[in-house]
Amino acid sequence: MNIKLIVVGKLKEKYLKQGISEYAKRMSKFCKFKIIEVADEKAPEKLSSAQMEQVKETEGTRILSKIKEKEFVFALAILGQERTSEEFASEIEKLTTYGHSDLTFVIGGSLGLSPSVLQRADTQISFGRFTLPHQLMRLVLTEQIYRAFMINSGSPYHK
C-alpha cells in the first residue's frame, strides 16, 4: 500500500518534522509513506476574491500534477465529511480491500484548495470546523493515518 500526502508549502518547524517523522517510521510496517511538498504561491496580505481564486488555481495546478489517475484522493476541506477514527480506519480498510492501494491526501495552502482539486478528490475529509495551521495539520493527519492502521490491526494503541 502507498500513502502519499501532497501539501502546499515547506515545513519549517523542527518539532512538527520530528513528530511526522516518528509516525512515518511507525507506519513503515504497514505502507510506503511519503510527503510531497508543492510550492505555495506568494501573495500579498490583502487579496481580492479574484486574486484569491488565482492563487488557489495556481497551487491547484501544482497539486494536480502530482496525482496519478489510479490514486484515491482525500481532500482535506473544512466543509468535508467528519469521521471518527474508527470510521476513518474502516474506510481505509475497505478501500484497500477493494483494490485501492494508492491513497493520496491533499492539504491546501492558507487559502484552501481550488475547485479543480476538490473536483478531482474522491472524497473530502474534515477534522472539524476549527482552523488549524496547515503545518500542524500534517502532523495530525499523519497520526490519524497511523491510528487507522493500529485500529485495523487490533492494537490497543488507540484507546
Annotated binding site for S-adenosyl-L-methionine: 76, 108
Q: Which amino acid is at 50?
A: A
Specify which residues 7 forms β-bridges with: 37, 107
Say how many C-beta atoms besides its own lie within 10 A of residue 53's C-beta. Answer: 15
- Residue 58 belongs to what H/E stretch? helix 49-64
Binding residue positions: 76, 108
Listed residue (18, 24, 148, 49) closest to 93, CA to CA: 148
Listed residue (38, 68, 40) closest to 56, CA to CA: 40
